[in-house]
Structure 1
């Protein structure tokens, strides 16, 4: 076991501790983060305090649940550290959400809702997440609780859980994601393209808000998403009788994404190497205009959305027969391989979610309050960022001092690099 990790942690946490400006909190923060990283299956306050030796349960619980201090400075430092590690023009910012299964009904935000990790409805809390990633190295930078209407419509319930007034109103997951994106950008986080699955991409206001912010994006949509040909034109319809028409209408009908790509040329592409070889699927892409403009009545078709933003419509046929569809506002000269790489880069956030839960106890928090849950989530993200920083430093040292490769050395196999990067936190923790 590497005995230096705790001293490395103290050094790495220095900016965070400086922002706390309170001697007890300066002691509790390293203790909590070390408890998340260290040995032990359960990463809730009581077992971590029992394993920590000199730190009492009451002190550790007060640190994580008290409303007496503001975590915003620590969030800002986390964003700066993530940007330093993996930020830049080639980085991805990935929007997703993750479910924390819970029993009972008093933990903040808990309700029967869809749990992506379980693939079904379950009693759980849902956190909207932001992950900054470069290549196959993710750093989680945001976790914000989604409150179902069963909570936002019950002021007494919100008050019992300590939900701040400015978070007590109902907001959709895309609305929460936009607020988190704005916060990250205000802190200087750098990325080249934003990625999201269809849970967010199906929202036209979400896509439009991203474009209004000048962001590049690639998001999932459904096969029924309506689109227009790229050369669609707006014309005045000829009125057969009655008053002349006042509004332009498209000169062609919108059709589904599935139908639009049915006759497109498809190519088999590999976007990265997996443990069993290159990962491949068939892709196609065409330039279109999204049918998400203002709604307007068009003849006997009723209310229809007018053509909106020009974009790429991308299709993916997977080897298991599954078909997926995506929209992206990446430039018109973007290659199909680049488009495929963008839409497939989103998978790395799922790895981060899994490691935050399995290795760092994201879903182990047993408190019920808004503050406690978000404070615990922040500490798990700080712990994860620390482990990623150690892994990146180790990789840099190995690159500078490559030893003689032997068949028994995993580093001699170029495929091992991909396996190692996909298990970044697990590999780093095994060295602790």
Structure 2
């Protein structure tokens, strides 16, 4: 990064400082963001202050931990900047979570829980994340702490961490994600399709909540997710004895997603170019009715979920032998290559998580409060958006005919969804730290 980046940062931060609307805070915000971006391995308050002769530890700590200011106006500016950079009908909104390993038990939300980044249970904090992305360009737009029930059931613990009243009721990660999606949509951020892994896709209320909002989605699911054939019919069962049956039942049994795809046609599909050549795997897709309707007793099977929304069920066979399964409400005429491109577009959020931690110190915050953690997370997102804006500018200015983004754009929205103007496709970024791409 050239020596003029601080001048560019001050100019770029102007809308954020206007939103802060306070002289002292307007000095601390650029200092904090610059501390996250600048040199140094540790990005907690004390080492950042030690590297900046113009800012004391007390003032920087006060700004992030206890000063009276509202994050909402800055979040709104961040969303506007993200939309300007990568928003549009060809953009993805990617739902995921990221773990911040922590020792002890007093940092807000810390508990033994599954950490996806580590692939195991660990003592950590978990943040539900939202990433707006176009092609290979991600911009993080939301990081909200998940509170385990060991926290929400302990008022004294919540008091010590300063958790606001509206966040003290236990919410699942899918519930938090839906609330964050509503926040993003409320300010007009444009995207074409919501993506999520199986941690969210296995939740029927999450999938149904997306559809109720008129959103297009593609999510991972467990192999045992039950589905019905597309042409399943509801019939009255014939009563062998007793009173006539009063409720319809499906004319066929539901089966697992894995079983539904066993006899499907599998094809090798390449969805984009990676660092070692074209990325490809074998895919199959079948239209089905997902078994997430109301539960009802069906003959001798006990309570079973009735057919719900008509969707795609997709399977992926990787060269490693690993198999993955997905559901999507993309239109019935969506080509297999486009379906594969949608489900594989999630990887950029993993890259964003890694860069937020390794480059900008997302997991370096040493405070224990709800307010401090979310302010620090917001500052890292602002810093990341600034870096992405510079990388986009460099990519656009460095090539006469910059390479267009991969052809993995979301298919058209379901009928009835408001149309939004398509944004110009974002250009590939200059070289960035890479992670394994799944």
Which TM class, normalised by the smaller chain length? over 0.9
What is the aligned length? 413
Matches within 5 A, 1:379-394: 379-394=379-394
- Does the C-alpha gap of structure 1 residues 13 and 140 become closer, same or farther in structure 2, counting only changes over 3 Å? same
Equivalent position of 2:234 in the other structure: 234
Equivalent position of 1:14 in the other structure: 14
Say if 1:388 and 1:424, in contact at 8 Å, map to a contact too: no
Cα distance per residue 1:189-232 (max 9 Å; x no partner): 10000000000000000000000000000000011000000000
- Does the C-alpha gap of structure 1 residues 419 and 121 become closer, same or farther in structure 2, counting only changes over 3 Å? farther
Equivalent position of 1:371 in the other structure: 371
Distance of 1:422 and 1:90 partners within structure 2:
21
Distance of 2:222 and 2:67 partners within structure 1:
42
Let me know the Cα RMSD of the aligned residues: 1.7
Matches within 5 A, 1:220-299: 220-299=220-299
Distance of 1:174 and 1:270 partners within structure 2:
30
Equivalent position of 2:203 in the other structure: 203
Equivalent position of 2:342 in the other structure: 342
- Secondary structure (helix, strand or coil) at the match of 2:51 reads helix
For residue 272 of structure 1, report the CA deviation from its aligned partner. 1.1
For residue 67 of structure 1, report the CA deviation from its aligned partner. 5.3
For residue 400 of structure 1, report the CA deviation from its aligned partner. 3.9
Flag structure 1 segments of 5+ consecutive residues without an equivalent.
403-410, 427-432
Say if 2:395 and 2:429, in contact at 8 Å, map to a contact too: no
Equivalent position of 2:55 in the other structure: 55
Say if 1:387 and 1:425, in contact at 8 Å, map to a contact too: no
Cα distance per residue 1:134-160 (max 9 Å; x no partner): 000000000000000100000000000
Say if 1:388 and 1:425, in contact at 8 Å, map to a contact too: no
Q: 2:429 aligns with which of 397, 415, 421?
A: 421
Cα distance per residue 1:31-76 (max 9 Å; x no partner): 0000000000000000000001110111101111125110100000
Distance of 1:395 and 1:419 partners within structure 2:
7
Distance of 1:70 and 1:419 partners within structure 2:
34
For residue 3 of structure 1, report the CA deviation from its aligned partner. 1.1
For residue 399 of structure 1, report the CA deviation from its aligned partner. 2.6
Equivalent position of 1:24 in the other structure: 24
For residue 345 of structure 1, report the CA deviation from its aligned partner. 0.1
Equivalent position of 2:216 in the other structure: 216
Equivalent position of 2:80 in the other structure: 80
For residue 266 of structure 1, report the CA deviation from its aligned partner. 0.3
Distance of 2:339 and 2:147 partners within structure 1:
34
TM-score normalised by length of structure 2? 0.92
Matches within 5 A, 1:163-182: 163-182=163-182
Say if 1:195 and 1:346, in contact at 8 Å, map to a contact too: yes
Equivalent position of 2:157 in the other structure: 157
Cα distance per residue 1:240-291 (max 9 Å; x no partner): 1100000000000000000000000000011111111111100000000000
Distance of 1:423 and 1:397 partners within structure 2:
15
Equivalent position of 1:315 in the other structure: 315
- Secondary structure (helix, strand or coil) at the match of 1:363 reads helix
Equivalent position of 2:412 in the other structure: none
For residue 423 of structure 1, report the CA deviation from its aligned partner. 4.6
**Which runs of 4 or more aligned residues in structure 1 lie more than 6 Å from their structure 2 counterparts after TM superposition?**
none
Say if 2:396 and 2:427, in contact at 8 Å, map to a contact too: no
Say if 2:392 and 2:427, in contact at 8 Å, map to a contact too: no
More helix by share: 1
Say if 2:394 and 2:430, in contact at 8 Å, map to a contact too: no
Distance of 1:164 and 1:116 partners within structure 2:
27
For residue 422 of structure 1, report the CA deviation from its aligned partner. 8.0
Flag structure 2 segments of 5+ consecutive residues without an equivalent.
407-425
Distance of 2:279 and 2:395 partners within structure 1:
24
- Secondary structure (helix, strand or coil) at the match of 2:345 reads helix
Equivalent position of 2:100 in the other structure: 100
